[in-house]
Amino acid sequence: QNIIEYSPLSLKYLKDICNMIKKLVSLCYILLITLIVGCTSQTVEEIVETHADGTPKVIVLYFVDGENKTKMATTQYYADGKVELSGQFNPDQKRMGKWLYNYPSGLLWSESVYESGKREGYSCVYYKNGKKRYEGNYKADKTIGTWQFYDEDGKLIKTQKH
């Protein structure tokens, strides 16, 4: 008969190892639950309006966290699929960042920067030929500084101080 004898010291190490394994399993379980719960937050694109032929007219990007749905960005399309406008929203659902509007040709019509729903910073409007029409800056949705106005050939025709 082979009898294995363990010293009290080896039994203590075995108990310590078992306890460490139990803690590791508990940590893995907590991590798994955290990942599952954390993955319930996601971004979702939703077609909220269509043209008569069924193609998207307005697409909104939402941040979904459980039951809460927050609008993050929107893109609106012409019937031929070209982008009409695009921009982002802050968590309070107000415009933020650069908003772009395009002519049906696809050329840029206007660009403005928003902060908390108000124009803030550089803004420019273009002619259908792509040349600048006018440009200037905003502060809290009010024109500030020097604005420049151009003819359809891009020639500066007027400056106006605010």
Tell me: pLDDT of 39 over 60.
no
For range 24-44, the mean pLDDT: 61
Sheet holding 41-50, edge to edge: 41-50, 56-65, 68-77, 83-89, 95-102, 108-115, 118-126, 132-139, 142-150, 156-161
Output phi, psi for 31, to 5 deg.
Answer: -60, -45
Tokens 């306890």 sit at which residue? 19
pLDDT tens column, 12-32: 666 667 667 766 665 655 565
CA 123/CA 114 separation, integer angstroms = 10
Tell me: pLDDT of 35 over 60.
no
Say which residues have a Cβ less than 8 Å from residue 125's Cβ, sequence separation at least 6: 109, 110, 132, 133, 134, 135
Tell me: pLDDT of 145 over 80.
yes
Q: According to the model, what pLDDT value does residue 21 have?
A: 73
Q: According to the model, what pLDDT value does residue 67 have?
A: 83
CB 153 within 8 A of CB 134: no
CB 117 within 8 A of CB 138: no
**Is 126 strand, coil or helix?**
strand
pLDDT tens column, 57-95: 999 999 888 888 899 999 999 999 999 999 999 988 999
